[in-house]
Amino acid sequence: MIADVVIAGGGPNGLMLATELGLAGLRPVVLELLPERATENRANGLVGQVVRMLDRRGLYEQLSGSTEPPKPAPGFVFGALPLNLSVLDDNSLYVLQVPQLRVQQILAERAVELGAELRRGHRITGLTQQDDAVTIEVEGPDGPYRMRTRYLVGADGGRSLTRKLAGIDFPGVTRDTTVSLSLHATVPETIVDPATGGLNVPGYGYVPPFMHHRTERGLFVYAPFPGKPPVITTIEWPEDTPGDEQLPTVDELRASVGRVLGVDVPLGEPEGEGPFLRRRLLGGNTRIAERFRDRRILLLGDAAHVHSAIGGPGLNLGLQDAVNLGWKLAAEIHGWAPPGLLDSYESERRPASERVVMHTQAQSALIAPGSEVTALRRLFTELLADPRTIQHVTDTMSGADIRYEMGNDAHPLVGRLAPDLAGLAELTRDARPLLLDLTKDGTLAREPRGWSDRVDVVRTQVDDAPATALLLRPDGYVAWASDSPEPGVAERADLRAALARWFGAPKAE
């Protein structure tokens, strides 16, 4: 028996792909090395377009615990410089503060609910590609076995064995100039500001919560997440980077905070129920895979790209990779994918990866020590007084600056994530292509009849709609749009061309 898709890696990115494939009617097999759920939390939030995407899959309410739709953040940071987002007319930076472990749990439950098979304690040890399948060698709790799959997706992290076995290079830059410590620790209640939750550090001054706080000696972050002791992080640039990779202690963290802030902060051991975060990172990597696809093997998330930056966007980028890849891979397996559809995964997501490399490296430069960096930060602070600069930086960080090539880019919405329209979050939960006919008389509703097995049509009215009709791909990006209240022959032909380009040939009538 041959599996349609095997996903190597049961982290958030692999599980997100499993849910997307499940929505498309496939039953992927997920091979996860860890025999039990992970206990170390590697991220504490999601930022940008991915928050809207999760809402459009019906996952936001579970993750946020709120029935309210996502709202843009009033402020954020770029390279430890504050961004006042309240001055923007179109704020694209959505923030969802939720531990990665919670994201992983919700996605695992959803993937299994949709039919995915999650095999814990299984890892790939070898693979061979054929014209029509990939044969993989697997080591499981009961010993080695072999299986065949039509497609193999490597979602197994920055050290991806899938990528290595496929012979895909991972060029980039490794730096060993920094040491970062992140631990749960307690601080005296006497220095916690009751109004803001930040710290009033004697001998130093005020440090706001959740903000990257740079000094001439390093970076300090105080993050008082609810339900746990606060997470305290430092980054330093020591002259001789130590090679110690052992788990750090609170005493080490206290010494590091003292060097960064220049004063002693009496940190204590974390209290309450664990597990508690204790992480040391030496240096970092910025790399993008030479290619995201090798015939029937594809790379996803950190297996395709890694980026070094505190609060880095790797998880946000990887989840969006999964939403982009899922429907294209399903279309290939179901047999209706037009030529080149699966290859568009890399042509669309590689530029997104390169944008993240650019802005994370820029942020790393802005937080480094030195008088030259301080001068650069002063200049940047002046630039960030201009709302146009804030808009540009915000759209870059959120991913709202991404515009895919759709072949018919005359309308400003084409190639971009669809705007938030009333009811859209409910209409996109099943991840099917969607034609939204917003014309008064529903004049376009019959055009996709040759694609009725693949494309849903909804006639509706929306106040202040940005278009009169929108054709959405399953990932929520606009493939075609019209402003005409009565689309004519040419526009209808453009619509049919977009339907064929993204969703294959129409069925015979």
Chain segment 125-153, per-residue pLDDT in tens = 999 999 999 999 999 999 999 999 999 99
Residue 390 lies in a domain: yes
- Give the domain range for residue 227: 176-284
Residue 447 lies in a domain: yes
pLDDT higher than 60, residue 47 = yes
pLDDT higher than 60, residue 311 = no
What is the predicted pLDDT for the residue at 405? 93
Task: pLDDT band for 412, please (50, 70, 90 cuts).
Answer: very high
Report which DSSP code applies to 448: G
> Are residues 217 and 340 both part of a single domain?
no
Q: Which of 89-98, 334-343, 444-453 has the highest mean pLDDT?
A: 334-343
Q: Specify the 3-state DSSP secondary structure of 469.
A: strand
Number of domains in the chain: 4
> Are residues 248 and 377 both part of a single domain?
no
The residue among 508 and 501 whose pLDDT is bigger is 501
Angle at 76 between CA 71 and CA 81, to 5 degrees: 165
Distance (Å, whole) CA 150 – CA 330: 11
pLDDT higher than 80, residue 276 = yes
% of the chain beyond a pLDDT of 90: 73
Domain end position, chosen among 226, 251, 284: 284
C-alpha neighbours within 13 Å on the C-beta side of residue 439: 19
* Closest among 127, 131, 100, 128 to 13, alpha carbons compared: 100
Return the structure tokens found at 222.
Answer: 């105080």
Which segments of 368-386 does DSSP mark as H helices, in order?
371-383
What are the tens digits of pLDDT across the range 488-505? 888 899 999 999 999 999
> Are residues 8 and 32 both part of a single domain?
yes
Residue with tokens 């498309």: 24
> Are residues 36 and 155 both part of a single domain?
yes
> Are residues 493 and 397 both part of a single domain?
no
Which residues neighbour 330 within 8 Å (Cβ) at sequence distance 6 or greater?
20, 21, 24, 25, 26
Q: Output Rg (C-alpha) for the chain, integer angstroms.
A: 24
C-alpha neighbours within 13 Å on the C-beta side of residue 340: 7
Angle at 313 between CA 310 and CA 316, to 5 degrees: 145
Residue 302 lies in a domain: yes
Residue 246 lies in a domain: yes
Contact (Cβ atoms closer than 8 angstroms) between residue 230 and residue 221: no
Task: pLDDT band for 509, please (50, 70, 90 cuts).
Answer: low
% of the chain beyond a pLDDT of 70: 97
Average pLDDT over residues 290-305: 96
pLDDT higher than 80, residue 40 = no
> Are residues 109 and 90 both part of a single domain?
no
What is the predicted pLDDT for the residue at 489? 85
Contact (Cβ atoms closer than 8 angstroms) between residue 11 and residue 314: no
Distance (Å, whole) CA 8 – CA 59: 23
Contact (Cβ atoms closer than 8 angstroms) between residue 44 and residue 160: no
The residue among 250 and 313 whose pLDDT is bigger is 250
